[in-house]
Amino acid sequence: MLLERVDLFNFEKNETIFLKKVCKEVESVIEYPAVYAGSSDDVEHGILLGNKIIFIDSHVPEVNINGIKEKLKSISEFRIEKLNLSFPAWRFYIDIGEKVILDYWCADATVYLPEIIGVYFVKVPLPKEIRVGNICDEKNLFKALSKVVVGGYYLERECPINPEKFGFRHLFSGELSGLSIRSAKGNLYKKIISF
């Protein structure tokens, strides 16, 4: 089901190879929310991870909402509504052969997280706002990864902390594009024990 979504977007060849491996692997946990922290207008990466995706981003909402809309226009009909939360938040309903719900929360990913996560995806761990928690901080990353179900996944592009100390096993690496603060490949980890 997720594998076919890779072909909806114009990924580079090497990234396509990596993302198809990721989709095949994470298919088992799509009943849980997938959380994407950072670069929220990279909606194509989020859509690959499940049917309920939550983008958590500290950037100016209007800029990223427009970026999401432009990406979605190229692949699907969608509708959007404002959510009544304690921070700015929107929900997109997307139809790509199956219903996908994408939430965008303008919030601190180290504070506002679902209680249960199937996939946690960090692409840019250093937020622009000083007040926002840093995913490169071990306490913040542990808090996030502790909410991933056993058998769930952590997909990262740039976070330098080794998640294996938090009960994850590295599965494979590959090309994952995007603006980068350091040279790093994408890495997929699977949670094998809970702390």
Question: What is the CATH number for 121?
Answer: 3.40.50.150
Name the average pLDDT for the chain: 90
Number of domains in the chain: 1
Contact 46, 102 (CB under 8 A): yes
Please check the confidence at residue 127 and state whether its pLDDT lies above 90: no
Question: Is 90 exceeded by the pLDDT of residue 158?
Answer: no
| Assessment of whether the complete model's pTM goes beyond 0.85 | yes
- Domain range for 20 is 3-191
What was the pLDDT predicted at 38?
A: 73
- Distance (Å) of CA 128 to CA 57, 74, 98, 134, 147: 10, 28, 34, 10, 24
Residue 15 in contact with residue 177, Cβ under 8 Å? yes
Looking at residue 170, its pLDDT comes to 97
Over range 22-42, report the average pLDDT.
Answer: 90
pLDDT of residue 124: 78
Band (184; pLDDT cuts 50, 70, 90): confident
Mean pLDDT confidence for 86-103: 93
**Minimum mean pLDDT range among 48-57, 130-139, 159-168:** 130-139
Rounded to whole angstroms, the Cα distance separating 68 from 58 reads 15
